[in-house]
Amino acid sequence: MTTTSPTTAPWRATVLTLFPEMFPGPLGLSLAGRALASGIWALDAHDIREYALDRHRSVDDTPAGGGPGMVLRADVLARAIDAVAAPGQPRLLMSPRGAPLTQNLVRELAQGPAPLIVCGRFEGIDQRVIEARHLSEVSIGDYVLSGGEIAAMTVLDACVRLLPGVMGRLSSGEDESFSDGLLEYPQYTRPQEFEGRLIPAVLLSGDHAKIAAWRRSEAEALTKSRRPDLWARRSDEAPAKKGPKNTTDG
């Protein structure tokens, strides 16, 4: 099944799934949906079952060595990958045992070419196809979903918002969480008073340097307290970025 967009779309992702009707799903709405409709990106969702080899169209079988559940067959998935993969396309397999999805990986993928994403189901996928077709396993977090589709949508959503022209004025995404290894500072808008709580006075001061310094310091404090792992990595990897708090970025 193909979700249509102009064939000239520069960032054309491919998904292999047993539930192609799940796509584009939420990616057809809001920011990603508008970008899809305008041809900034495109999505081809293919049904793995179409590549089954027998008349029952079976895609899975019992695990070698015994145990519960079913395993996706190597031969069927390999056929599907061979039929739809474009040369040079990164190949991801969504899996809770994969490498964690990071904003760095998202940025890389958004540079293109857009990935081929295999959505796992059942108890797993025959290890041999993962190796033989060079699939990189990627996890969206330390919890188990019932399948890789929602994880694949997460990857696609994170990439699409970085594509040129998708976020408009915010296109650089430079102020947001993770862009500098920091969580995002708190935001406020009108009314000035909400249930007795005021907008921090510095934000109404009009002093842009002071505002930037305040935001920086809030972002650092949040990161230290909520994500000590991110804070430690940041200190390890980017000593130059640790510098004075009142830098010019927000």
Taking residues 71 to 110 in sequence order and writing x for each that binds ligand ADE by CB under 6 A, - otherwise, the string is -----------------------xxx--------------
Nearest approach, Cβ of residue 215 and ligand ADE (Å): 32
Number of residues binding to ligand ADE, judged by CB under 6 A: 12
- Which H or E run contains 43? strand 41-47
Residue 164 touches ligand ADE, criterion: CB under 6 A: no
User: Can you tell me whether residue 177 is helix, strand or coil?
Assistant: coil
Contact by Cβ (8 Å): 84, 116: yes
The side-by-side arrangement of strands in the sheet containing 71-72 is 60-61, 71-72, 124-125
Residue (69 or 141) nearer to ligand ADE, CB: 141
Q: How far is the CB of 75 from ligand ADE (least distance, A)?
A: 22
Nearer to ligand ADE, 9 or 92 (CB): 92
Pick the binder of ligand ADE from 29, 144, 198, 209 (CB under 6 A).
144
Residue 24 CA from chain centroid, whole number = 14
Max CA separation in the chain (angstroms):
72
Span between the terminal Cα atoms of the chain, in Å: 43
* Cis peptide preceding 6, ω within 30 of 0: no
* Least distance from ligand ADE to the Cβ atom of residue 144, Å: 5
Contact with ligand ADE (CB under 6 A): which of 151, 156, 158, 219? 151
Q: How far is the CB of 85 from ligand ADE (least distance, A)?
A: 19
The contacts found for 223-229 with CB under 8 angstroms, 24 or more apart, are: 223/181, 223/182, 223/183, 226/183, 227/183
- Comparison of 120 and 181: residue with beta carbon closer to ligand ADE: 120
**Residue from 24, 115, 120, 250 that binds ligand ADE (CB under 6 A)?**
120
**Nearest in space to 234 (alpha carbons), one of 186, 185, 178:** 178
Q: List residues binding ligand ADE (CB under 6 A).
A: 94-96, 120, 139-141, 143-145, 148, 151
